[in-house]
Amino acid sequence: MTRRLMEGSEAIAEAAIAAGCRFFAGYPMTPFTELLESFAKKLPGVGGVCVNAESELESIGMAWGALATGARAATGSTGQGIALMQESLSEITRAELPLVLFHMARGQSDYYQATRGGGHGDYRHLVFAPIDLEEATRLVQHAFDLADRWRNPVQIYGDYLLAHTAEAVEIEALRFDPLPPKDWAVDGSLGGTGRARNINPIGMEKGRKGIEPEPFWKRLQAKHDAMERELPRFEAEQTQDAELVVVAFGTLARFARHVVRALRREGRRVGYFRPVTLWPFPSDALRNAVRGAARVAVLEMNAGQMIDDVRLAVLGAAPVVPIGGISHDHSGFGVGPALEPASIVARIADVYGGREAA
Amino acid sequence: MTRRLMEGSEAIAEAAIAAGCRFFAGYPMTPFTELLESFAKKLPGVGGVCVNAESELESIGMAWGALATGARAATGSTGQGIALMQESLSEITRAELPLVLFHMARGQSDYYQATRGGGHGDYRHLVFAPIDLEEATRLVQHAFDLADRWRNPVQIYGDYLLAHTAEAVEIEALRFDPLPPKDWAVDGSLGGTGRARNINPIGMEKGRKGIEPEPFWKRLQAKHDAMERELPRFEAEQTQDAELVVVAFGTLARFARHVVRALRREGRRVGYFRPVTLWPFPSDALRNAVRGAARVAVLEMNAGQMIDDVRLAVLGAAPVVPIGGISHDHSGFGVGPALEPASIVARIADVYGGREAA
Amino acid sequence: MTRRLMEGSEAIAEAAIAAGCRFFAGYPMTPFTELLESFAKKLPGVGGVCVNAESELESIGMAWGALATGARAATGSTGQGIALMQESLSEITRAELPLVLFHMARGQSDYYQATRGGGHGDYRHLVFAPIDLEEATRLVQHAFDLADRWRNPVQIYGDYLLAHTAEAVEIEALRFDPLPPKDWAVDGSLGGTGRARNINPIGMEKGRKGIEPEPFWKRLQAKHDAMERELPRFEAEQTQDAELVVVAFGTLARFARHVVRALRREGRRVGYFRPVTLWPFPSDALRNAVRGAARVAVLEMNAGQMIDDVRLAVLGAAPVVPIGGISHDHSGFGVGPALEPASIVARIADVYGGREAA
Amino acid sequence: MTRRLMEGSEAIAEAAIAAGCRFFAGYPMTPFTELLESFAKKLPGVGGVCVNAESELESIGMAWGALATGARAATGSTGQGIALMQESLSEITRAELPLVLFHMARGQSDYYQATRGGGHGDYRHLVFAPIDLEEATRLVQHAFDLADRWRNPVQIYGDYLLAHTAEAVEIEALRFDPLPPKDWAVDGSLGGTGRARNINPIGMEKGRKGIEPEPFWKRLQAKHDAMERELPRFEAEQTQDAELVVVAFGTLARFARHVVRALRREGRRVGYFRPVTLWPFPSDALRNAVRGAARVAVLEMNAGQMIDDVRLAVLGAAPVVPIGGISHDHSGFGVGPALEPASIVARIADVYGGREAA
């Protein structure tokens, strides 16, 4: 396949289909709408199905049903719609179904929603926050693989910039290790001798009567603990001798990386760190990366959410200073002037020079 | 009024009504059901209205409407139902409406939901977690006062034990400073000269066209920053010279306090700290409380959620060790054997003796 | 009570409350909205409850629940909303609950909906179509009495003119024969010895397991047969020697009656007949009224619906000719020019003179 | 194609697909469930889509959307679910969209629902009631053709017997006259010069602002008048010299036809008449068929609904006597003992001998 100019939404849908996604349901909401439209155009051609549901509650319900049959299925929305899905997201995690959830966010203020959720009980989602379209088309494929491998939902936290910017991309179908058969999927049989494990993967509470809650929850916690150990990913540059390390995620990290590189060229000892997985947060890697730093600066476009995870990683070893904040362009969804490169340089200079207290 | 034996749900409803609550809507779900029933019995007698809605989505929608008229109104549920309300909770915060939300939780694993939410965007709720019924009947009244004073939702995070245990209580109507008039409430007028400020308090996005998003969100953030400074509450005992401080919240803190008092009587230098507000978390108070301690032990009945806030407060000054975990009684809602006093004593002893690593 | 100038919606709500209605739920839709608003204003003052539900599906669900407790309860809408209620209307009839349904129609084209329904199975509603506000305030009270007496829904088929015209009315509380106790109502008890008949009046299928369907349906049919014999009401004038009888219903009948009186003054042998109950249709009375007539003219503001019932009554004894049709004023809800008195006179003259074939 | 043993639901789905149906949405309810399952199995294989929606409200909404794009689309349910669809059915008729609605009824007591509807306003559906599977597979294809030709919904009124009985059938794809292009369908364009007629076929009220209601409704009425003239279908046997004509519809007519044939063999002068279209009812044909008859007997499995249409056709020319009624087998859906052939013979004999009054 050759490189082709595509809008982000289109490329992401193609990557999902390349990964075997055959069912998608969603309800339009900017900036998610174009992703739904892309699936609607592309899925029928591969024998798949895309449904424009009547609300986000219905769309996640439909994806849930498709997943229970063993299909690779996904849904998505923007923050508001994902808020509506919280009960289902929690139950689907408990049912151990491999949902892939596309979150095309309005900015970065849904970090808590993505990493702590708003569903009930203890549950966790693997969350990927791609920096650009090229990374996104690979992470989307990993998302489907890891969702199946861990039997756990995976969220792609994208945004307006990722969904609506056209880039020249080449979608390369990745190869993954074989997966165990989905012997838990419903197939219409009622569980005879040859189908002993055909339990109902609809949910712990509804479908697995007779299961004791405490051992079940402990097993789920153990799985999430293992995910926390094995799945963190990050990108780092020039942290070795950095006096100041800038931490950013998602497409905004592109601005941060650009600024750090420019400052390095000027001889400033700054480094750059980006969590690729928002959960599990790469805490150990960050702790190492900031080992000699005098300060850690957190760039995020919200009132301060990821900074919790940065502080939890650094644990007082260096002051952690916010250099982002609320700043929006005219659409209300994109990056505002206060977070553009020139402003970021100025903020970093302030922190670097110690003019701003932690 | 004299002391009377009442089940928690009944006492909480009475306290809410004493505070002027005149509208309640909910959908039954254990252990919230009895609270709904208590409001249904008591509200008509004071000229109020209680509606058994068709789902939690409807119940919060009705409370939203009632609030917009200036009434003191509330809704509630348990974790699952509150998960369904996340989009509305986020919008109501943005509409600056004084919702009181009764969360009768199944255990303590909805701490993230209560403190970080699952709605979209940056928003915060004041969260009270009462230790017993006596405190609950006072905090409920403060909730209505503070919701109005800050024009922000307040959550009461209760549980099975709080809702279903009968205690002898006397509900004393508290007196609060006068509040400004609710000149923002809809009253059917269309905003003539005498009613210039009658904006539509339904929501930022829908009702306040023409408002620039960025300044609005910054104002909201400034309000939440002020709440974070002014509203933290806590209870602490014997932390002055403590080598080990036990942190716990809600009704489970009763077990922790009991154990700490018993260990003190045996000469062990242990202290007790309880956040009364889960958000804002009383970080400064906790930091002071653990100033000389060698260890901080966190007792919570979940896979580890509040421990984030404890670590964010302590910031590496002392090791923070979990001594709780998932443990349930037969109902699946109450405290299990692993968190009963004898077990807690054993766990504290382990940490105290340094046998367990942080 | 003295005569007072009131809009129709207000007077109707007052009549319902005078009849003991204490619960009302609805969803706004013109021209029903003002009736909902009137109940919302008046019910709290008598200890009643009015709920603005989230759709007509919810509003009838709430009324259903209120009825099951033995309360006098009502809901309503206009044609579109009543279309949404059809499944519930059918089930409520089968549950034998005394619903009063206020239909503030947009014109007269919902006659089939009112008399044949769109629910499933064999079921019937008593339908009153008042000619004016004075009659409406009496029929509303009869509706509550007859709904209880027959344990069957009763519909008030009103319209824009009835709801929105202000007239000077005096609402006189009517007195009715005592009713049997509602020993079928749910009261929270589980049906011990003293409460043997406390079956669950939620519905035949859901609540009365063990009941054989066929005998149940036959008993329901027998009840509807009895209603058909006992409940027809009509108004007739000058039919004795009429060569032409004009049949009309609801507020449009006022125009017909006015024209017939005027034509009589001119010596034309015309008569007037109005079904007060659309179901049961007063077929015997109409058959008698047209006994010597050469022609029957049907005035209705729709494509021809009541004319079925007129033909079923007359059964070929005289030609039945439509003189109404689709005609609307600017609102789309009120009577259009083609049905105003002058036009009606012309149409009657045509039929009278035999210029129009049956 | 050769004759193959198939259950009715399967054969009906195949006929629909042979007619070009490519979208189906439904919600399970006996005896409709198997039809939904058949579409779910067969549609993906022809590039079509079948959605198990979250309720009948959603399923008709989805079919509505599919129809608006010009696709051949259908939905269905049993009486209860169709009751829920009444508002949409009325609006879809007004939007002039070619919906095919599969009604797998529980018995025959939804005749009013099918022929008079429960939606709002004046609207009509063509209704086919097949006597057996062979006829059904042809009428289903006519349904799609006529829906497009008249731009009006068509209902197939089937039942338990039709849906669940297996017969050997051969589905022959019928050929129809060419249809005009669907230039009214939405295609994403905004109506430039080349697309002048791309109006929004979502509904009169919502999508065609600026259209005057009265002319629109009159045009719709004229269309329904034309359908009433052109579309009636019926089946009749031995009515020429019949003293008694038995009228029946749907699968129950098979019993009637069987009995009439047997009685003829015994020399009794009985005839048989079946409306194939319930609306428009074949009134002229029936009037002719009973011209010399002394009595007309109506066999229907309900409390008396079609008898209205029979009386409206006969208009007093002969007594019309019900010989059916409520009678169910154990399932509650099938024909009960009182309507089996032996009972029908006895009832006919009664009427024939004049023992039963009209």
Mean pLDDT, chain B, as a whole number?
91
* Structure token digits, residue C123: 């079921």
CA distance B156 to chain A (A): 16
3+ Cβ–Cβ pairs closer than 8 Å linking B and D: no
Q: Do C51 and B62 touch (CB under 8 A)?
A: yes
Interchain proximity A311–B308, CB inside 8 Å: no
Does the pLDDT at position B211 exceed 50? Answer: yes
Q: Distance from A58 to chain D by nearest Cα, in Å?
A: 7
Which of D47, D52, D58 lies closest to A54 in CB terms? D58
Which residues pair with residue D7 across a beta bridge?
D166
Tens digits of per-residue pLDDT, C36-67?
999 999 999 999 999 999 999 999 999 999 99
Q: Which residues on chain B are in Cβ contact (under 8 Å) with C49?
A: 44, 49, 51
Distance CA(B107)–CA(C315), nearest Å, equals 72
Q: Identify the helix (H) or strand (E) that includes residue A301.
A: none
The confidence score (pLDDT) of residue D205 equals 40
A311 chain-B contacts, CB cut-off 8 A: 312, 315
The Cα D154–Cα D151 span in angstroms is 9
Say whether A328 and B213 touch across the interface (CB within 8 A).
yes
Amino acid at C295: R
Q: Is the pTM of this model over 0.90?
A: no
Report the residue from D87, D217, D312 with minimal CB separation from C312: D312
- CA of B214 to nearest chain A CA: how many angstroms apart? 6
The predicted-structure confidence for D322-341, as pLDDT tens digits, reads as follows 999 998 777 777 788 888 88
pLDDT at D196: 39
**E strand residue ranges, C222-314:** 234-237, 244-248, 270-275, 277-279, 295-299
CB of A354 within 8 Å of a chain B CB? The answer is no
Mean pLDDT of D112-118: 93
Task: Assign D70 a pLDDT band (cuts: 50, 70, 90).
Answer: very high
Minimum Cα–Cα distance from C25: chain B residue: B51
C317 touches chain D (CB under 8 A): yes
pLDDT tens per residue across span B248-286: 999 999 999 999 999 999 999 999 999 999 999 999 999
Choose the closest CB to D49 out of A49, A54, A61.
A49
Q: How does the average pLDDT of chain D come out, rounded?
A: 91
- The closest CB to that of D54, out of A47, A49, A58, belongs to A58
Contact A113 B120 (CB under 8 A): yes
pLDDT band per the 50, 70, 90 thresholds, residue A329: confident
Q: Which of C190, C291, C287 is nearest to C234 (CA)?
A: C287
Contact B303, B112 (CB under 8 A): no
Write out chain A residues lying below 8 Å of B84, CB-based: 84, 86-87
**Per-residue confidence band for B207, with pLDDT thresholds at 50, 70 and 90:** very low
Contact D312 C317 (CB under 8 A): no
Answer with the residue of higher pLDDT: C303 or A189: C303
**Rounded-to-integer distance, Cα C335 and Cα A219, Å:** 70
Give exposure, C135-170, as e/b (b: 16+ Cβ within 10 Å).
Answer: ebbebbbbbbbbbbebbbbbbbbbbbbbbbeebebe
Instruction: Out of A330-344, B47-61, C6-20, C285-299, pick the least confident.
Output: A330-344
Type and span of the H or E element at D33: helix D33-42
- Mean predicted confidence (pLDDT) in B181-198: 63
Q: Between C305 and B350, whose confidence is greater?
A: C305
Region D136-140 average pLDDT: 97
pLDDT of C26 above 90: yes
Residue-level pLDDT at C358: 43
Contact C158, C131 (CB under 8 A): no
Interface of B with A in 217-256 (CB under 8 A): 217-218, 221, 224
Question: Within an 8 Å CB–CB cutoff, is residue B54 touching chain C?
Answer: yes
Q: How far is B93 from chain A (nearest CA, A)?
A: 13
Mean pLDDT of chain A: 91
Asked if B108 has any chain A CB less than 8 Å from its own CB, the reply is: no
Q: What are the residues whose beta carbons fall under 8 Å from the beta carbon of D185, sequence distance 6 or more?
A: D68, D69, D70, D201
Q: Do B86 and A86 touch (CB under 8 A)?
A: yes
CA distance B103 to B82: 8
Residues from chain B that touch A302, judged by Cβ atoms under 8 A, are: 121-122
Which amino acid, B105?
A: A
Residues B285-344 pLDDT 10s: 999 999 999 999 999 999 999 999 999 999 999 999 999 999 877 777 778 888 888 999
Inspect the interface and report whether the beta carbons of D83 and C87 lie closer than 8 Å: yes
Nearest CB neighbour to A316, from listed B106, B302, B317: B317
Q: Is B188 on the interface with C (CB under 8 A)?
A: no
pLDDT for B250: 97
B355 or A324, greater pLDDT: A324
CA separation for the pair A25, C316 (Å, rounded): 58
**HEC-encoded secondary structure of chain A:** CCCEEEEHHHHHHHHHHHCCCCEEEECCCCCCHHHHHHHHHHHHHHCCEEEECCCHHHHHHHHHHHHHCCCCEEEEECHHHHHHCHHHHHHHHHCCCCCEEEEEECCCCCHHHHHHCCCCCCCCCEEECCCCHHHHHHHHHHHHHHHHHHCCCEEEEEEHHHHHCEEEECCCCCCCCCCCCCCCCCCCCCCCHHHCCCCCCCCHHHHCCCCCHHHHHHHHHHHHHHHHHHCCCEEEECCCCCCEEEEECCCHHHHHHHHHHHHHHCCCCEEEEEECEEECCCHHHHHHHCCCCCEEEEECCCCCCHHHHHHHHHCCCCCEEECCCCCECCCCCCECHHHCHHHHHHHHHHHHCCCCCC
Residues of A in contact with D52 (CB under 8 A): 65
The reply to whether ipTM tops 0.90 is yes
pLDDT at A193: 40
Task: State yes or no: pLDDT of C1 exceeds 70.
Answer: no
The minimum CA-CA distance between C203 and chain B, rounded to whole Å, is 18
User: What CA–CA distance (Å, rounded) separates D37 from D18?
Assistant: 17
pLDDT at residue A192 is higher than 80: no
Give the closest residue to B311 by CA, choosing from A317, C266, D196. A317
Residue-by-residue DSSP string for B115-151: HH-SSSSS---EEE--SSHHHHHHHHHHHHHHHHHHT
Taking the Cβ of residue D58 and every Cβ of chain A, the question of whether any pair is shorter than 8 Å is answered with yes
